[in-house]
Structure 1
Amino acid sequence: MRFTTIFNGTGLLALATMLAAMPAAAQQVAAPAVTDSTGDEIVVTGSRIRRDPLDQPSPVITVDAESIQRTGLSSVADVLQRLPSAAGGLNSKVNNSGNIGNPPDGGGVGAGSAEIDLRYLTAKRTLVLVDGLRFVNGASASGIPSTVDLNTIQVGSIERIEILQSGQSPLYGSDALAGVVNIITKSQQKGLKASAQFGTFRQGDGHTQDYNASYGIQSPRTSVVFGGSYVKQEAVRTRDRSISQFPNPGQTSCTDPVGGCSSATVNGYVQLTGPALTIKTPPILGRPRYDAANPTGPNSDFRLLTAADRFNFSPYNYFLTPSERYGFFVSGKQELTDSINLRVKLNYTKRNSQNQAAFLPLFVGPDAGNGNLLDTISIDATNPFNPFGYTLSAGGAGNPAANYSTVRRRLVEAGQRTYTQHVDTMSATATLDGSFDAMGRKFYWDANAVIGFNDAKQLFTGNINAARLAQALGPVSRCTDACVPFNIFGGAGSVTPAMLAYVAFDERARSSQRLEDYTANISGELFDLPAGAVGIAAGYEHRVQFGRFTPDPLITAGLGADIPAQPARGQFNSDEIYAELRVPLIHDTPLIKSFEVGGAVRHSDYSTSGGNTTYTGNALWKPVTDLLLRGSWAQGFRAPSIGELFGAASRSDAPIDDPCTNVAGSPYRTSPSVRANCTANGVPANGSYQEPNGGQLGVLTGGNTALKPETSRTLLFGAVYAPGWARDSGFASQLSIEGNYYDIKVEDAIAPVDAQLTLSRCAQSGDALSCAAITRTPSGLISRINAQLQNIGGIRTKGVDVTAVYRSPRTSAGIFGLSLNGNVLLKYTETFPAENGFTTTDYRGTTRGFPDQSYPKFKGNAVADWDLGLVRASFTGRYIDSVREGDGSKLDSTFYGDVQLAFSPAWMEHRLAVTIGVNNVFDQDPPACTSCTGPNYDPTTYDVPGQFGYVRLSWGL
């Protein structure tokens, strides 16, 4: 493996911290500095001016193709999410559909897609480029995301990935607040390269097939590379891992005091205006009359609900979601003249993926909290399965007063809820580039056009048509033609196929995104100063983006029993110009081997949010040849995305607790002021309210056309030490140590106010803004929490990145290498507006729970490798520091170890290689987490439980 860093940096001070915290280890690596075919300096991510990659102003780590193969992973996102500077994001371990609904970010579930999030600032603040150009955003038929789906980038097409770990909006425009991920694809290759890999977990599940092939043709003036890939990842189910057998870690039964099992029981549950009741089996088929004041009397088939009746939904989810991806790519270069080139690239990917949830929890009644027709259904006395002899009224205009709260039934007859996505993504680029001489100088230019689309379809099975259900539960005289009276009070199996056929439907949704991006750039040297040439770059960009989300018409009409949604669409166009300058000031003087300053400016004009100008400045100082010091200051800018502006309101079911519930240990019982504030918010003063939903409350989030752009300020200081004596003495072929300190401040950050914080503010202090965002039913139940996107106070994060690389000279025993990479998180806070000022929450050293995200104080990776030529071996260690949940529970520090061994015979000129590897060789389980929305652990930070082994056969140099 090759691990070199494209130096830029901040602070040797963190090296001691990194080494002391080992056993960290890692997969991220960096390729050697790259030059063009003539050996000239080139453009590297972090600067538009051609320069030596070792002397550029921003911290960049490069992951080459060999390093990707060393991970044994089949997704670019999974590789990048192992970077210590990465925070997580969507991946194949996240199974949100039907479990928590649409995340409160305006972008939809994104089921089956994968993202990269740098600095914990969320994926929407990390810009993803492909070959330095924009790539179309992904979608999964659940919203309009503002992020690129990395699963649409085929691993076999990648030459290297450059990760700029600093915001650079002045150079790259909107979205680059946290950093830039630039995926460089293959442009030259000779002959065939191919690989076939099969992997599986030791438990016998999660089988993964990964096939890649590419072929390159080269002639003096023409170069063509084309290839394809196929990846099939099978599921890992929660029922097959001990950590996820019940809703809480360590739970063995729904009767355990910790609770967590669902009140949507298999046999059904009805809550009248009096006691809470549940149906006994066998189901009631007649219409015996019961005393309404005591339906659990001696002749009744009803009894009070117990914990044993609750439903354990945990074994019915995915730990690892199944996915199938295939596609092809073509890259061609034609020299039109000695100084002009035409380059074209095409990438197409098809993704078939699936998410899964337990059987539909059907909630009917005024306290059901669906926000649609299901909340208004009355169950008529003439329904042949109504055992009460009177109508269960939901109240409302023209109806008797409500006399029941909810009827709940786990609809096992309809099978598990499944969400199947079919996604097509295509991106085509055309580039003219070349050079010309002017004023005795050489200038380089390029003009680019990008056209991309992403189309997604999703099929959801297991939903219910609320209008038909209302008819099937209403007066029997109106249940005519195809209508079949519905038995909502019977036990499991009482819903017949005929009943189900009438009320069930397959939900179909679609989404699409379009991108047109046109850019032109020029760079070169203006004139010479005593210390060197003054470099300049400038350019123009015109971009058009369009997005649309079209839910099923029945969902649009409010007639579904799952997460509601409304259609949304929007577009924007932008025009941007930028310029970058590099000025060398001092060269070859005492204590100043070189000193230069630079900067950039960019003006952006968006049709949706107006104009914005950002600036950056930097300084690079080499006291001696082997030591580089640098610092930079940069402004950032992110325009609101289409989903954030135009996305319709949609619900997420947050696994949070209502502080107003009257149960043992709740704030309602322990604090008189909380009781008073809850009563003022609509909780019955008699103390009758107890939260029935098992800790899931509906949060309504939607777009906001009044949003302003986000802005940021980034400070960066760093140092790189690469001693020449180590190479000259034969101690190392490569030795470098780098440290980077960063301080990022985001203002007017676009986000909803945290729902749990809203509840706490209202209950604890009676905050008027927070209480106004909470809507309760007459019984006190929360029907929704309004969390519309807004420009909140801000986000602040500080930290230190450290990198150390050693590589030995070639010896008779081979080449030995060691690379270390770590991140020390010094601060991460979010500030929200309150009635009288702002509230700041510190997340450093904690796990968030909803949405899942952990903020360890330290993450580190290390790779030790040995290359004998015939045999190559490596050990990768990954360390994640401990974090704490909101209740103070500790998630212990976690260490993962990965091993790989490759055999490449010399008699085949090392073209053929056989590789075997095991990820998580020590069989380390993720730390159990009670507050996490994932299956009792944080899937954005930790691995799926179990050892994953793989074998790969590859061909080609």
Structure 2
Amino acid sequence: MNNIAYRRRLLSGSAFGFGAIMLGAALVTAGPAWAQDESAAPQDIVVTGSLIARPNNVSVSPIVSVSEEAIKAAGQVDLEATLNQLPGFVPSGGAATGGQGGGGRATVNLHGLGSNRNLVLLDGKRLPLSDINGNVDINILPESIIGGVDVITGGASAIYGSDAMSGVVNFKVLKPFEGIRADMQIGDSFRGDYRRFSGAVALGTSFAEDRGHLMLSASYSDRQPLSGDKRSVFDLRVPSSFIGQSTFVPSATNLPDQAVLNSLFAGYGVTSSINPTLTLGFNDNGSLFTQTGAINYQGPTTGGYAVIGNNVRMPVGPQLQILNGLQRTTLFGKADYELTDALTLYGQFLYVDSTVNTESGKSLTQFGTLTTIPVTNPFIPADLRTLLASRPDAAAPFTWNGRYVGVADKSWDENFSVQQYIAGLKGGLFGAWTFDVYAGYDKTVHDQKNYNAVLKSRVQQLLNAPDGGASLCAGGFNPFGLANASRLSPECQAYITKTAFSQEKLTQTQVQGTISGPLFSLPAGDMQLALLAGYRRNTYSYTPDSDLAAQNIEAVIASSAAAGRINVKEFAAQIDVPLLKDKPFIEEFGIGGAFRYSDYSVTGSVTSYEGDVRWRPVSSLLVRGSYQRAVRAPNIGELFSPATGVQIAIGTPPASIGDPCDVRSTARTGANAAQVRALCIAQGVPAAAIDSYQFPTTATAGVISGNTGLSPEKADTYNIGFIWNSRWTSPWLSNLSLSVDYYNIKIKDVISTVPGLTTLAKCYNLDGSNPTYAASNAFCALLARDDQGNLQTIGQPFLNLGGLQTDGVEIQVNWSVGLADIGVGNGSGAVYINSAIGYMNHYKVQTLPGTAFQDFAGTNTIGSPRPEWKALTTFGYRSDAFGVALRWRYQDAMDDISAVTTPANAAVGVDAYNLFDLTGNVKVADAFDLRWGITNLFDKGLPYVASSQNGADPGTFDAIGRSFYIGAKVSF
């Protein structure tokens, strides 16, 4: 988008926002959504990007603070959905993820550098890990106990440890209070299909003449799932070739006789010749049809069945659970007691029971090695039996595929049981020196139940049985035709299915101590020092269901048992040196530095360090900057992860990259088609099938595996910027502040897996990586095909791969004016505007060392949007009694990722995306507050996302549509 067009859209949106406020002024809203952390009292500082409480509590790292009121104004029961609206965050795990038993975790991702490269804390202390890759599932945090969030958007590894390469997200617990607080919120879409509820009660009290304080909280949240059949955009999405009627898959080396095939179809009134390599389906009357071309197809075209592009397909979009359900119960307690005036004992516990239900499609497809049907099966229709007899090897069993439409929906319950205990002692040492030492232990148990898991071995037993399995379960298993496949008896459903149970356990033990205080006085203030020593131990174990480990479950990739542990001993030091103050154009000038040494049990020792400078030329302006060498050691998953299956969406060519061996792909129709054809044959696509080969579906399997030979990542991070707070006396300008920060992060030796689409593009020379079309190419070696040539898996081992580079600018603007100050009434009312704006200049990826960087700024792929511009702006009115506001969420237009990966075959991108929310609250009484909101006020729909097999990305864009929430808070 050119700058003129952008400015016009920005201005038109602003004008519209003010008009909507005037029209919608009915109730109230929360206060500012973010602010620069510059005013908290020293004893209240939890995270400032520093172990030292610097003068004026100013951080040299950019900090965005999100208030408790702003969190509630978002109307969510999941915190990641609130944070993802802010510039600087890229959607990661959330309600739209977790299909195929993916865990359903909610994670946060700063600058798009990965959810395992930012550190997530609660009151400055590490939260329990939720998976093998070191991610924290913020589903375990009920918003009822959260008093705000501080986000450090620059690197902080030297201060907080290697996980803080891209920043820190610190959730702050409510401050101690007296009495009882109850909070409840309900919400739903205007269509009535996405109900959300949260309720909490908290008790706060003091004891022992106010020397002790106690807070206890209990909460419950419930989020209804949203199915794809509730949104018309998914009606024809994912046109799968796996259909309920089932199909016969010819073997390229054992094809039926052409004359016999033509004769059969002639009996149906078809005069044209039928290609013997085509997949054939079964009508309920026993006749055959071609899936490609839909010749003689007599089945349904509604209710989950369709003829798309003249091909018989079963769109699975309506069957998908596009937003998963959540049930969460949380208990939290926090206490402190002053042993003496200088010593305080404190403790904290957290218990969470959270269950996320995930689905990836109701009717279950086949996946991996396909089962076969012997020619002795009694259910084989007569016409198919005639065709089978015409093959050169007439007695050979044949491959089939289909959907188990006679079996109930496949789904997963992902239950997380989390407990954390922390105890510590803090206080004064001597003079102004203070200390804080604590120990903590946490444990996460993830129980995964896969309901209605179809066992391949049991299916094969039924297919091989002389009576079709009738002696094993009532009626046996007849997959030929929709009517037969749908009438699977309850006994046979029970025979071929099970509830598969897998479990992973993670523990974390941590001990840390800090001391800080002044070394000596300088003319500009005290030189201060902070020292930290810590120990952390993480363990992991995974026990998959025995049938999952044996690849005996349809549509789920095998996963093996695994275990691993790492520990780290750390020492850190930070110094702050005030150099000048109260000089001309130098009201304050200081420098600082930090150093951290970490010794990891598996990968050895690493060091990180930081240097910073701050300069306040006048009281209203602070200029700040820092440099940091950050280091991230491999986590347990990257080191010890078992071979774990994931689904890789590759789409259907030519609209998407698909399987490049597919005759419809641009690789097979382009200038180098002959070389691609030869490469495909060398990889295992039968020569007899190569000229008619079509990959049967829109996704394949990726296999992720750990690597103990990994090296730590290294990064250079820079930030420079300023904070300006107005000192003007005019009421129109006195409450005006602006911060602008430039960040630059360069990571090398990146630990990652090669994206599946990248592997395909590089193997088949779609980006020039394999100009000789050699089957020995390193990327081609990651591909595995079955006997029919179908792309079965794409290997994705963890490796130190190339680099990541990103830079951009983050802007925060806050303005307000009291109406009484400008002569409008005499009350407490004020109007305000808050805006957080992010600009991404570059997002460069180097796939392998020595290869060129590719810039993905301004591009979009499923789950990884990288808009150049992103903004969240609030226009509002507030007073002591009520308020109202309009929030404007803006995301710039983006090209599809294929514009970079395969520029000769670039898919359509997405237009600029604007959402508006109207929110408010009203104080009914001193102890009773109501709040409400309408999100996606104008019912903006999902845009088309070419890189998604579903044609949409509900993790990035709003799939719910217009929705509402109503909440209340009562204090006693």
TM-score by length of 2: 0.85
Change (3 A) 1:400 1:584: farther
SS at match of 2:760: helix
Q: Give the SS at the match of 2:779.
A: helix
Alpha-carbon separation, structure 1, partners of 2:639 and 2:33 = 36
Report the secondary structure of 1:151's partner residue. helix
Partner of residue 757, structure 1: 758
Quick one: distance in 2 between partners of 1:552 and 1:748?
A: 35
2:894 to 866, 872, 883: 883
Q: What residue number does 1:271 align with? A: 249
- Aligned match for 1:507, one of 500, 511, 527: 500
Corresponding residue for 2:220?
Answer: 230
Query: Match for 1:211 among 199, 206, 214?
Result: 199
Structure 2 vs 1, CA of residues 27 and 385 (structure 1 numbering), >3 Å: closer, same or farther? Answer: farther
| Larger displacement relative to structure 2 (660-669 or 196-205) | 660-669
Match of 2:399 in 1: 406
* Pair 1:211–1:658, CA change in 2 (3 A): closer
Aligned-partner Cα distance in 2 for 1:810–1:516: 53
Q: Which secondary structure does the structure 2 equivalent of 1:940 belong to?
A: coil
- Aligned residue number for residue 30 of structure 1: 35
The 5 Å alignment of 1:793-942 reads 793-809=802-818, 811=820, 812=826, 814-833=829-848, 837-849=850-862, 852-885=863-896, 886=898, 887-905=906-924, 908-909=925-926, 911-933=927-949, 935-942=950-957
Corresponding residue of 2:961: 946
**Distance (whole Å) between structure 2 residues aligned to residue 817 and residue 681 of structure 1:** 63
Structure-1 separation of matches of 2:514 and 2:89: 30
1:97 to 2:100 alignment: yes
Counterparts in 2 of 1:688 and 1:462: CA distance versus 1, 3 Å? farther
How far the C-alpha of 1:956 sits from its partner, in A, is: 3.1
Q: Deviations over 1:238-271 (max 9, x none)?
A: 1111211121xxxxxxxxxxxx411111111111
**Structure 1 counterpart of 2:435, one-letter code:** W
Give the whole-Å Cα distance in 1 for the aligned partners of 2:469 and 2:874.
Answer: 68
**In structure 2, how many angstroms separate the alpha carbons of the residues matched to 1:664 and 1:527?**
74
Verify the 8 A CA contact 2:364 2:410 in the aligned structure 1: no
CA distance in 1, matches of 2:343, 2:282: 91
What corresponds to 2:329 in structure 1? 326
Residue 134 of structure 1 is matched in structure 2 by 126
Q: Does structure 1 residue 625 correspond to structure 2 residue 603?
A: no
Change in CA separation of 1:658 and 1:927 when aligned onto 2, cut-off 3 Å: closer
Please tell me the residue identity of whatever aligns with 1:951. I
Classify 1:52/1:391 alpha carbon distance in 2 versus 1 (closer, same or farther; 3 Å). Answer: farther
* Structure-2 separation of matches of 1:636 and 1:540: 18
SS at match of 2:441: strand
Query: Contact 2:39 / 2:57 at 8 angstroms: preserved in 1?
Result: no
| Cα distance, 1:627–1:29 mapped onto 2, change above 3 Å | same
User: By how many angstroms is 1:357 displaced?
Assistant: 2.9
1:59 equivalent in structure 2: 62
Deviations 1:743-785 (A, max 9, x none): 1011111111122221122212226111211222343321222
Q: Is the 1:115–1:150 Cα contact (8 Å) retained in structure 2?
A: yes
| Shift in Å, 1:459 | 1.5
- Larger CA deviation: 27-36 vs 626-635: 27-36
Q: In the aligned structure 2, how far is the partner of 1:599 from the partner of 1:20?
A: 42
Q: Which of 541, 544, 559 is the matching residue for 1:548?
A: 541
Alignment of 1:235-634 (within 5 A): 235-247=225-237, 260-273=238-251, 274=255, 301-306=287-292, 308=307, 309-363=312-366, 370=368, 374-375=369-370, 377-387=371-381, 406-437=399-430, 441-476=431-466, 482=472, 485-491=476-482, 492-563=485-556, 564-634=558-628
Q: Structure 1: which amino acid aligns with 2:477?
A: F
Q: Deviations over 1:362-414 (max 9, x none)?
A: 43xxxxx61xxx44x44233332244559989x9xxx9899577311211111
Q: CA deviation at 1:195?
A: 1.5
**What is the aligned-residue RMSD (CA, Å)?**
3.1
Output the CA distance in 2 between the equivalents of 1:165 and 1:175: 13
Q: Deviations over 1:723-756 (max 9, x none)?
A: 222xx44445632110000110111111111222
Q: For residue 680 of structure 1, report the CA deviation from its aligned partner.
A: 3.4
Superimposed CA distance per residue, residues 271-305 of structure 1 (whole angstroms, 9 cap, x where no aligned partner) = 12237999x9xxxxxxxxxxx99999999722222
Deviations 1:297-319 (CA, angstroms, capped at 9, x unpaired): 99972222245332121111123
Partner residue, 1:150: 138
Q: Which runs of 5+ in 1 are unaligned?
A: 1-14, 99-108, 248-259, 281-291, 364-368
Out of 199, 212, 237, the position equivalent to 2:187 is 199
Give the partner amino acid of 2:551. G
> Which residue identity lines up with residue 737 of structure 2 in the other structure?
S
Secondary structure of 1:761 counterpart:
helix
Q: Please show how residues 39-188 of structure 1 align to structure 2 within 5 Å.
A: 42=45, 44-52=47-55, 54-97=57-100, 109-111=102-104, 113-139=105-131, 144-188=132-176
The answer on whether the counterparts of 1:460 and 1:506 sit within 8 Å (CA) in structure 2 is yes
Deviation at 1:531, TM superposition (A): 1.5
Residue 329 of structure 1 and its aligned partner are, at CA, apart by 0.9
Q: Given residue 865 of structure 1, which amino acid in structure 2 is its aligned partner?
A: G
Q: Deviations over 1:813-832 (max 9, x none)?
A: 51222111110000001111
Q: How far does the alpha carbon of each residue in 1:102-122 deviate from its partner, in whole angstroms, 9 at most, with x for none?
A: xxxxxxx222x2111000011
Instruction: Judge conservation of contact 2:250–2:277 (CA < 8 Å) in 1.
Output: no
Shift of 1:693: 2.3
Secondary structure in structure 2 of the residue aligned to 1:122? coil
Q: Which runs of 5+ in 2 are unaligned?
A: 1-5, 18-30, 265-275, 295-306, 651-656, 821-825, 899-905
Letter of the structure 2 residue corresponding to residue 913 of structure 1: D
The Cα of 1:212 is off from its aligned counterpart by: 1.8
Contact 1:428 1:452 in 2 (8 A): yes
CA contact (8 A) 1:27 1:79 kept: no
CA gap 1:724/1:506 in 2 versus in 1, 3 angstroms: same
1:9 maps to none
Q: Rate the CA distance shift 1:50–1:534 in 2: closer, same or farther, 3 A.
A: same
Over the matched positions of the two proteins, sequence identity in percent amounts to: 27
Following the alignment from structure 1 to structure 2, what is the Cα–Cα distance between the partners of residues 693 and 190?
Answer: 64
**Residue 773 (str. 1) matches residue 775 (str. 2):** no
- Assess, with a 3 A threshold, how the Cα gap between structure 1 residues 500 and 478 changes in structure 2: closer, same or farther: closer
1:842-867 CA distance string (max 9 Å, x none): 21111123xx2111110001112212
Alpha-carbon distance in structure 1 between the residues aligned to 2:345 and 2:10:
48
TM-score, L = length of structure 1 = 0.86
Residues 53 and 165 of structure 1, relative CA distance in 2, 3 Å threshold? farther
**CA deviation map 1:531-589 (0-9, x unaligned):** 11101101111001112222211111221112122222211111000000111112222
Q: Which has the higher contact order (CA 8 A, sep 6+)?
A: 1
Worse overlay, 922-931 or 118-127: 922-931
Residue 747 in 1 paired to residue 748 in 2? yes
Counterpart of 1:8?
Answer: none
Aligned residues: 878
SS of the counterpart of 2:516? strand
Distance 1:19 1:442 in 2: 50
Deviations 1:141-181 (A, max 9, x none): xxx34211101012111122110001111111121111001
Q: CA deviation at 1:523?
A: 0.5
State the SS of the aligned residue for 1:442: coil
Q: Residue 578 of structure 1 aligns to which amino acid in structure 2?
A: A
Question: Does the CA contact (< 8 Å) of 1:272 and 1:404 recur in 2?
Answer: no
Distance in structure 2 (CA, Å) of the matches to 1:602 and 1:535: 17
Looking at structure 2, the residues matched to 297 and 938 of structure 1 have their Cα atoms a distance apart, in angstroms, of 34
Q: C-alpha distance in 2, partners of 1:21/1:297? A: 57
CA contact (8 A) 1:209 1:233 kept: yes
**Contact 1:27/1:862 (<8 A) preserved:** no
Q: 1:867 to 1:735 in 2, by over 3 A?
A: same
2:277 and 2:692 in contact (8 A); partners too: no
Q: Distance in 1 between matches of 2:215 and 2:722?
A: 39
- Equivalent residue letter for 1:736: S
238-247 or 482-491: which moved more?
482-491
